[in-house]
Amino acid sequence: MVCNKNKLAFITGASRGLGKNLALTMLENNWEVHGFARSEIKITHPCFTAKSKDLSRPDKLKEIFTETRKNLNDYKSIVLVNNAGTISPTGPLEQLKPEQISVLINLNLTTPLLLMGEFGRLTGNLKNITRTIINISSGAGKHPYQGWVPYCTSKAGIDMATEAFALEQGEEGIKIISFSPGVMDTKMQSQIRNLKPEIFPSKNRFLELKRQNLLSSPIKIAKYLLNKLEQQSFEQGAITTY
């Protein structure tokens, strides 16, 4: 199978959860997809390229896009999805180790910022191509949770980064949105349900959502998001939710 040279996606955190489901959904819809994660990405498709990267090491990410795809002029639409994220470390801030906080902030905030900049440098002149950045955010960027200070901070930061970058780009530049996927049935949610109630007092809410089968499947969210992307049905810089 030859990939049609129309639609190109870079997705971080493509080894499981929302990122993997988005990659699969896009491949089904004739996108060429380049996925990044630390572990093996179990997707076999002629239009998929996997790249092993620790995205909590922003110092190692120079030329991350051109390593996998040299010529971006050929496409009609190019998207970067900043999806990789972690909830850890959790617990009272004074008990968290500085290096663990740094890993979370690097992965959830610094790397997305660097990738937004790199994407801007690479595609800045490609005015005839639809260029989009989707930052995966969270309700925790708006609603504070006890025990999640670094995570909430990172997601509030990514929302502000989206809004400020949108101002820089204006209506003619790269389109950018933040998207909160709601509560999805992924490994991150099982990690949340396993937190000790003394460090995460809201744990019962998440246990109850699971018990009542109210978690969204990541494939459903991926399809919703792809439709939004393909229709370009969002305002520049919008902070959106599922």
Catalytic residues: 151
CB of 114 to ligand NAP, least distance (A): 13
190: how many CB neighbours lie within 10 A of its CB?
A: 11
181 near ligand NAP (CB under 6 A): yes
Closer Cβ to ligand NAP, 53 or 175, answer by number: 53
Tokens of 233: 């049905």
Burial class (CB in 10 A: 0-12, 13-18, 19+), 171: exposed
Closer Cβ to ligand NAP, 199 or 215, answer by number: 215
Q: Which of 16, 45, 69, 193 binds ligand NAP (CB under 6 A)?
A: 16
87: how many CB neighbours lie within 10 A of its CB?
A: 22
Closest residue to ligand NAP using C-beta atoms? 17
Q: Which of 81, 174, 184, 209 binds ligand NAP (CB under 6 A)?
A: 184
162 near ligand NAP (CB under 6 A): no
Tokens of 169: 């780009």
Distances (CA, A) of 62 to 20, 67, 142, 149: 23, 9, 31, 29
Strands 7-12 and 130-136: unpaired
Q: Which of 147, 186, 226, 239 binds ligand NAP (CB under 6 A)?
A: 186
Distance CA 18, CA 43 (A): 14
- Peptide bond between residue 89 and the one before it cis (omega within 30 degrees of 0): yes
116: how many CB neighbours lie within 10 A of its CB?
A: 22
Q: Cα-Cα-Cα-Cα dihedral of 201, 205, 206, 209, to 10°?
A: 170
Q: Which of 17, 147, 157, 237 binds ligand NAP (CB under 6 A)?
A: 17
105 near ligand NAP (CB under 6 A): no
Closer Cβ to ligand NAP, 54 or 230, answer by number: 54
Among positions 44-73, residues that touch ligand NAP (CB under 6 A) are 53-56
Closer Cβ to ligand NAP, 19 or 120, answer by number: 19
Closer Cβ to ligand NAP, 32 or 159, answer by number: 159
Distance CA 158, CA 109 (A): 6
Among positions 81-100, residues that touch ligand NAP (CB under 6 A) are 83-86
Binding site for ligand NAP (CB under 6 A): 13-19, 37-39, 53-56, 83-86, 107, 136, 138, 180-181, 183-184, 186-189
